[in-house]
Amino acid sequence: MRILVAEDEAKARRYLARGLGEQGFSVELAEDGNSALLLLREHVFDVAVLDVMLPGRDGWSIVKTLRGEGNRTPVLFLTARHHVEDRVRGFELGGDDYLVKPFAFAELLARLQNLVRRFEPAAGAATIEIGDLAIDALRHEVSRAGQTLQLTPKEYALLLLLARHRGRVLSRTLIAESVWGVCFDTQTNVVDVLIRRLRAKLDAPFVQPMLHTVRGMGYMLDEHAD
């Protein structure tokens, strides 16, 4: 699980980073709202933990902006504000859970794991369907218009990433980081090569393309181009 923690208190930030790291999670830290928003735009996280009262841009503003851009990263708000009105506002803006300080780390961990489970395909409904494209996330099988597509592991990983972020433009850097787990030299064309290979199998045999290039920004998977 990859987690973003946005917390302006240095002590709390270190405590969360250490505790989540000990659980085997990959943790990225931000100490202000603008940095948190930038990280959420440029990277893929399984869940974000946002302090509501961040400097620069508060947690509510971050979530409102993300949801307006189509980013559905699950968000857990942390706050010292316990009023019902505050919790309701957080949910109305697109937050997914709310934890009032001070809190037990065990409860935070349980809430994060629950959030990730909610946003993963359920065991009985693990097929992602976009138009005539079907991805069985349990069996790692892909078909389009009833025709099975034979994909390499990297092609499948790329398709699954794009499908889980349907309609969202993903940059080359974000794709490289998510598929290979590292950041490649920006001059390399490894992502473009993989895109071409996937497109040859996903789009070339069919009338309607699904893998779209957004010039100067990256790539997007959707049934229809804008």
Q: List residues bridging with 78 in a β-sheet.
A: 51, 99
171: pLDDT strictly greater than 70 = yes
Q: What is the mean pLDDT of residues 186-194?
A: 78
Q: What is the DSSP letter of 125?
A: B
Range of weakest confidence among 10-14, 43-47, 90-94, 118-122: 118-122
Is residue 120 within 8 A of residue 138, CB to CB? The reply is no
At 164, the pLDDT band (50, 70, 90 cuts) reads: confident
Looking at residue 122, its pLDDT comes to 43
199: pLDDT strictly greater than 50 = yes
Where b means 16+ CB within 10 Å and e means fewer, 199-211 reads bebbeeeeeeebb
Q: Where are the alpha helices (DSSP H) in the chain?
A: 10-22, 33-42, 59-68, 84-93, 105-119, 153-164, 172-180, 190-202
**102 upstream amide cis, omega within 30 of 0:** yes
Is residue 105 within 8 A of residue 19, CB to CB? The reply is yes
185: pLDDT strictly greater than 80 = no
Q: What is the mean pLDDT of residues 142-168?
A: 90
Looking at residue 176, its pLDDT comes to 82
Among candidates 99, 95, 29, 27, which has minimal Cα distance to 65?
95
126: pLDDT strictly greater than 70 = no
CA 221 distance to own-chain centroid:
15
Q: What is the DSSP letter of 224?
A: S
CA atoms of 188 and 213, how far apart (whole Å)? 17
Is residue 180 within 8 A of residue 161, CB to CB? The reply is no
77: pLDDT strictly greater than 80 = yes
Domains contained in the chain, CATH given: 2-119 (3.40.50.2300), 127-221 (1.10.10.10)
Average pLDDT over the chain, rounded to an integer: 84
116: pLDDT strictly greater than 90 = no
CA atoms of 190 and 176, how far apart (whole Å)? 8
Looking at residue 147, its pLDDT comes to 93
124: pLDDT strictly greater than 50 = no
Among candidates 7, 1, 9, which has minimal Cα distance to 29?
7
Looking at residue 193, its pLDDT comes to 92
Higher-confidence position of 161 and 182: 161
Q: What is the mean pLDDT of residues 170-197?
A: 76
What percentage of residues in the chain have a pLDDT greater than 70? 89
Range of weakest confidence among 25-29, 53-57, 117-121: 117-121
Tell me the torsion sign for CA atoms 157, 44, 144, 192: negative
Looking at residue 123, its pLDDT comes to 40
36: pLDDT strictly greater than 90 = yes
CB within 8 A of 19, min separation 6: which ones?
A: 105, 109
Type and span of the H or E element at 146:
none
